[in-house]
Amino acid sequence: MPKPSLRIDLPRLLPILDWGKRYDRIDLSGDMTAAVIVTIMLIPQSLAYALLAGLPAEVGLYASILPLVAYAIFGTSRALAVGPVAVISLMSASALAPLGIDSVSEFIAAAGVLALLSGVMLVAMGALRLGVVANLLSHPVIAGFITASGILIAVSQLKHILGIPAQGHNLPEILSSLGQGITHLNPWTLATGLAALGFLVWVRRHMADVLHRRLGLSKGAAGTAARVGPVFAVIGTILLSWGANLPGLGVAVVGEVPTGLPPLGLPTIDWALIPALIGPAALITIIGYVESVSVAQTLAAKRRQKIDPNQELKALGAANIASAMSGGYSVTGGFARSVVNFDAGARTPAAGAFTAIGLTFAALYLTPLLYFLPKATLAATIIIAVLSLVDLKILKTAWTYSKADFAAVLSTIMLTLLVGVETGVAAGVMVSLLLFVWKTSRPHVAEVGQVPGTQHFRNIHRHQVLTDPRVVTLRIDESLYFANARRMEDMILARVHDGRDDIEHVVLMCSAVNEIDLSALESLEEINQRLSDMGVKLHLSEVKGPVMDRLKRSHLLDALTGQVFLSQNEAFEALIQQPS
Amino acid sequence: MPKPSLRIDLPRLLPILDWGKRYDRIDLSGDMTAAVIVTIMLIPQSLAYALLAGLPAEVGLYASILPLVAYAIFGTSRALAVGPVAVISLMSASALAPLGIDSVSEFIAAAGVLALLSGVMLVAMGALRLGVVANLLSHPVIAGFITASGILIAVSQLKHILGIPAQGHNLPEILSSLGQGITHLNPWTLATGLAALGFLVWVRRHMADVLHRRLGLSKGAAGTAARVGPVFAVIGTILLSWGANLPGLGVAVVGEVPTGLPPLGLPTIDWALIPALIGPAALITIIGYVESVSVAQTLAAKRRQKIDPNQELKALGAANIASAMSGGYSVTGGFARSVVNFDAGARTPAAGAFTAIGLTFAALYLTPLLYFLPKATLAATIIIAVLSLVDLKILKTAWTYSKADFAAVLSTIMLTLLVGVETGVAAGVMVSLLLFVWKTSRPHVAEVGQVPGTQHFRNIHRHQVLTDPRVVTLRIDESLYFANARRMEDMILARVHDGRDDIEHVVLMCSAVNEIDLSALESLEEINQRLSDMGVKLHLSEVKGPVMDRLKRSHLLDALTGQVFLSQNEAFEALIQQPS
């Protein structure tokens, strides 16, 4: 017998070992091209998202370096680009605001602790294979949350465009704050902001077209190149701001950004903050994971590749821990940048590592050039980016298809806008769960009969079917469990009561009963007893294997006054032939 | 055309109008007999439960007067006896303890406010027909909670038997408190307590037998009479305590109990306490309602009567509001007293009103006699009463039948004992819900084939069935919703991937699919698309009416590469005859 050996599946733990050994020149050229384009796109974005999170701009750059390297080592997606993203930045701001931290360095440390917590949670979930908890977020809840967050973010950026102070973490707070500050409106800031916005809208609508038709770029290349449009807005407004001395006119600029890289190491941990950060960190963890894994799956499917959800948890965890240890904040896989990375030809996670090199260069040498960059330009970048997240069509789709889904979307959107991101997403999950329980607590019970000439049984109210007054067959369209056990009891007994004295047999057709829990078992025993008192026999048909296995371990089958039939047809044929 | 008139269904709102007009001499004699026996039983019980709730003994008497009258007017059960009960008294103590109230009168007022809140919630739930929320408590959770509460209550009463001070709201707290106080043990108290306990055990085990065999009472009458046994323990120990001057030996007695009745009116409401009481009041409301309605239903079924759950909510609400307005505390329908009431021949809710008269008499004239009553006697009464609630067999039953139910019982019992009643019941509900979601998030998918010679399709691994390599039929044994949509997607695509190139048709047999929510719809669209990319057609069979109605409002049916078949048999016959 061979000696058992402790084998660790290294290529599974470190996907880099898998793709790394087959890495070739074609991969290198694709990854390099993608990295250059993503770097140019990420510079303004990472600065802007850091400001959105309430952090100094350079923190966004730091969060776009080591996390990318960590993901390149541990990640399973060939195209995912991680870094600061809009929704997570907003959630981070919303988590840190109630702590009431005044010192900038302490605020940065707290953001790092938040990323660290979330990183540890992600790794733990990966180790425990708990990726499945992400399933608690239904599509409508995610869609509603992303839409509402997009609106909140866009509105929160208006203060930079208008040049007035404003704050708040929900729509009423931000709007009333903007209203109070409107008298301080700075026309130069507004002009800069509107110019940047106008340019970015033009870039988004027409630049690809211009590059394709006038400059002869291929359609794909033109589309990808147009994605770096914001960098021209950055360069243009820096030059304008410097030339016209906009800061002297009261236009807020990014100002002094420290050159160089932050020291490596854990952020200063203020243990007193941990209890207040656990909840928000958990929400950031789940939202970040869901957003990232959806993007990764979409892109993997396009190239018939696969991703491993549990490994993705560990990779995102590693990216967040790396961010926390290098002066950054919470990160995840972003939709826009991943699509650009994919379209620009990224073939392996090495593209992310090359992007990290580009951003290191930016952090080391470009930060002095950012002094004159108007904050209004960054706000315009954010507004354009997040408006593409806003999709109110989900309300109409949900309304048409199912009122329960509509209720979940609507409550998620309304609570996110009116109360805040954490309440919104928590309410969405709770509403979805409670509606599911509510729906299953009102089981659909159909009385069925035989479709003539077949062995098939359908609803007597929807189909022309054969029945027998002595035999009532009820098909229960739901698993039987505590939330609906008593209701089912009432429904069945009421039906028999209405049928007066003709009824001799009740057959429960269990083709749709996927489970019978202990509460429902007790209800079935009760039904059997009550029917027996009325002189009516209770039969079961089409009980599924796993359900039957469990019933055999109970007393129900001993007490049952009738039989258990394999098929409904057998039950019907046998019972109608019995003499009264 | 007749003028529409505003009709209020008065007999439904006030059931007393219904049974009251048919009230006759037979009803009167049955109700009077029952009232006498229940009154004798309730005097020691109501004193004891008030002490358990941390209140002066007389509060228990007050809570047994007006609430009974209110229930007699509004209630639909002919046998339910309301008043203070053990579990609700424990929950009330646990709700009020954290408020840190030192003044006795303020503590009584807070208990009244708790009853008032719970009464208002009950009436509101009745008006909104929300009795269904009680379904969230599964049988195992209720059984586990009642068992753990019984143990907690019994252990908490040991301090009165041992004559030592002790406190706490969970097992570790109470036991360590008892351990610290053991040096103060009072032997006279212990002797009194053990004597009372011994007598009560004898009463419970043998008294009915003695009354039946030796004194010739009928078996039923003897059983009922034995229920009033505790009153003999009360009388005996009062005489002993007075004769031997037990208070002089350090035995704690009930002491001065005010004579007369409290003034009617709302309790003094300290609005600052309301937020802290809302949560506990909600739990007391739900537990009290579930306990009461189960007793009422059990007894109604024995006489083929019906109760109206929504009217019961209003009646219990009225009883709690009446209790709050007359110096009492939270009440509900109790199991033991209702059974005694029923067995002693109560025929209408008037029995409750007569009991109220008996207790008024006790409050007016008997309280001076209670001065010498040892608290140890009352503790013994409680211990004997609650030990009958303890049923650890539920653990074994649940373990045998289903591990999920077992997990729910075990976590309810453990958390109730180790943390407290509120955490225990809340955890039980959450665990049940999460386990249900977890179970349904892992749908059972069976590959099925035709049972030879029938039109019936069963699992290929459990039955000898006919299949065709070109047609894969998967029966999905679960409603499709957000928690399992992605998993189902993975399972179906994995099956087709494994089947290599033979597969031309995938049929999803939806006989057990009771719902398809928006998330699952998107997954089905995705499956259809991916299968189409592989050259495989997707078909549906046995889609239920309500599900089909909804699918018709979506785009899935337009995009579907295959067909929707009424029955699985039609699908199989049609597809195996198609040329490859």
A-B CB pairs within 8 A amount to: 167
Q: In degrees, to the nearest 5, what angle opens at C-alpha B184 toward C-alphas B183 and B187?
A: 105
Cα separations in angstroms, A57 against A43, A60, A63, A217, B555: 10, 6, 10, 34, 45
Place of tokens 């007359």: B326
% of chain A surpassing 90 pLDDT: 28
pLDDT tens digits, one per residue of B165-188: 888 888 998 899 888 888 888 899
CB atoms within 10 A of CB A434: 16
pLDDT tens digits, one per residue of A309-367: 889 999 999 999 999 999 999 999 988 788 888 888 888 888 989 999 999 998 888 88
Which residue in the set B398, B402, B511 is minimally distant from A511, CB to CB?
B511
Packed helices B86-96 and B274-302: angle between N→C axes, nearest 10 degrees: 170
User: Which among A342, A355, A361, A327 is positioned nearest to A71, based on CA atoms?
Assistant: A355
Residue B356: half-sphere exposure toward Cβ, Cα within 13 Å: 24
User: Which among A425, A420, A427, A428 is positioned nearest to A173, based on CA atoms?
Assistant: A420
Asked if the Cβ–Cβ distance from B140 to A459 is below 8 Å, we say no
Residues of B in contact with A444 (CB under 8 A): 514, 544, 546
Q: How far apart are CA B439 and CA B456, in angstroms?
A: 27
CB atoms within 10 A of CB B575: 22
DSSP class of B265: S
Cβ pair B350, B23 in contact under 8 A = yes
User: Which among A538, A575, A534, A541 is positioned nearest to A560, based on CA atoms?
Assistant: A538
Helix boundaries (H) for A128-202: 139-162, 171-181, 187-202
B93 contacts: CB under 8 Å, gap ≥ 6: B52, B53, B54, B169
Q: Based on the number of CB atoms within 10 Å of its own CB, is B2 exposed (0-12), middle (13-18) or buried (19 or more)?
A: exposed
Asked if the Cβ–Cβ distance from A514 to B477 is below 8 Å, we say yes
Q: How far apart are the first and last CA of chain A?
A: 68
pLDDT tens digits, one per residue of A142-159: 888 889 988 988 998 898
Residue A7: pLDDT above 60? Answer: no
A304 contacts: CB under 8 Å, gap ≥ 6: none
CB atoms within 10 A of CB A125: 22
Q: Whole-prediction pTM value?
A: 0.71
Residue B499: pLDDT above 70? Answer: no
Asked if the Cβ–Cβ distance from B545 to A459 is below 8 Å, we say yes
Q: Based on the number of CB atoms within 10 Å of its own CB, is A236 exposed (0-12), middle (13-18) or buried (19 or more)?
A: middle
- Which tokens hold the place of B258? 């005010």
CB atoms within 10 A of CB B284: 29
Query: Sheet holding B537-541: strands in order across?
Result: B457-459, B445-450, B471-476, B505-509, B537-541, B564-565
pLDDT band at B304 (very low <50, low <70, confident <90, very high): low
User: Maximum Cα–Cα distance for chain B, whole Å?
Assistant: 103
CB atoms within 10 A of CB B339: 18
Q: What is the pLDDT of residue B354?
A: 92
- Mapping DSSP onto H, E and C, the string for B53-86 reads CCCCHHHHHHCCCHHHHHHHHHCCCCCCCEECCH
Average pLDDT, chain A: 86
The complex scores an ipTM of: 0.74
Q: What is the pLDDT of residue B1?
A: 44
Phi and psi (nearest 5°) for B253? -120, 170
H or E stretch covering B509: strand B505-509
Cβ pair B545, B512 in contact under 8 A = no
Helix, coil or strand: residue A50: helix
Phi and psi (nearest 5°) for A37? -65, -45
Q: In degrees, to the nearest 5, what angle opens at C-alpha A458 toward C-alphas A455 and A462?
A: 145
H or E stretch covering B332: strand B332-333
Residue A38: pLDDT above 50? Answer: yes
Which residue in the set A402, A484, A544 is minimally distant from B517, CB to CB?
A402
Q: How far apart are CA A516 and CA A518, in angstroms?
A: 7
Residue A474: pLDDT above 50? Answer: yes
Interface with B, mutate which of A142, A286, A481, A529 (most B CBs under 10 A):
A481
Residue B539: pLDDT above 80? Answer: yes
Which residue in the set A301, A401, A439 is minimally distant from B518, CB to CB?
A401
pLDDT tens digits, one per residue of B4-13: 445 556 767 7
Residue A22: pLDDT above 90? Answer: no
pLDDT band at B93 (very low <50, low <70, confident <90, very high): very high
Asked if the Cβ–Cβ distance from A518 to B433 is below 8 Å, we say no
Asked if the Cβ–Cβ distance from A522 to B446 is below 8 Å, we say no
Residues of B in contact with A491 (CB under 8 A): none
Place of tokens 């698309």: B529
Asked if the Cβ–Cβ distance from B514 to A444 is below 8 Å, we say yes
Cβ pair B242, B372 in contact under 8 A = yes
Angular region, B260: left φ>0, alpha ψ -120 to 50, beta rest = left
